[in-house]
Amino acid sequence: MTEHHIAPRGMYYVVFLALIIGTGLTVAAAEVDLGALNNVLMLAIACAKALLVILFFMHLRWGTRLTWVVVGSGFFWLLIMFSLTMSDYMSRGWVEGTLR
């Protein structure tokens, strides 16, 4: 039988606190003009928050390897969609006479 890990209650409070602090940081950082770095920072914090939720609240940290592969594949396909689509839009018109 697969043993189910029961995380201590304190862990949930720590993760919760980290998520709230992350939200505060995002709001604070948006008020400062950092140029392109604003987007990098807010998305980095959002990714960190999402990772915390997935690993601890959604128990992926104690999940099977198969679950890891399934979750990873979802984000991998998302990246394929973003990168292939943007490589199309951003490279339009690079060759003279082609569609813009």
Partner 1 sequence: MPDGHAHAAPLDAHGHPHEPAHPKLQHHFDDMGQRAEASTLGMWVFLVTEILFFGGLFMCYLVYRWKSPSGFQEASFELNRVWGATNTAVLIISSLTMALAVRAAQTSAKRGTQVFFLGLTMFFGLVFLGIKAIEYTDKFVHHHVPGPHFHWDGQYPKPAEQFYSLYFAMTGLHAVHMIVGVGIMAVITWMAWRETFDEDYYTPVEVAGLYWHFVDIVWIFLFPLLYLIGGHFKG
Interface residues toward partner 1, by CB under 8 A: 1-4, 6-7, 9, 12-13, 15-16, 19-20, 23, 26-27, 30-33, 38-39, 42-43, 45-46, 49-50, 53-54, 56-59, 63-64, 66-67, 70-71, 73-75, 77-78, 81-82, 85-86, 89-90
Q: How far is the CB of 78 from partner 1 (least distance, A)?
A: 5
Q: Which of 78, 70, 68 minimizes the C-alpha distance to 47? A: 78
Say if residues 49 and 19 touch (Cβ distance below 8 Å). yes
3 state DSSP class of 34: coil
Smallest gap from residue 94 Cβ to partner 1 (A): 15
Q: How many helices (H) does the chain have, and how many strands (E)?
A: 3, 0
Which residue lies nearer to partner 1 by CB, 35 or 97?
35
Tell me how far, at minimum, the Cβ of 69 lies from partner 1, in Å. Answer: 10
Whole-Å CA distances, 43 to 21, 39, 59, 84: 15, 6, 23, 20
Q: Minimal distance in Å, beta carbon 99 to partner 1? A: 15
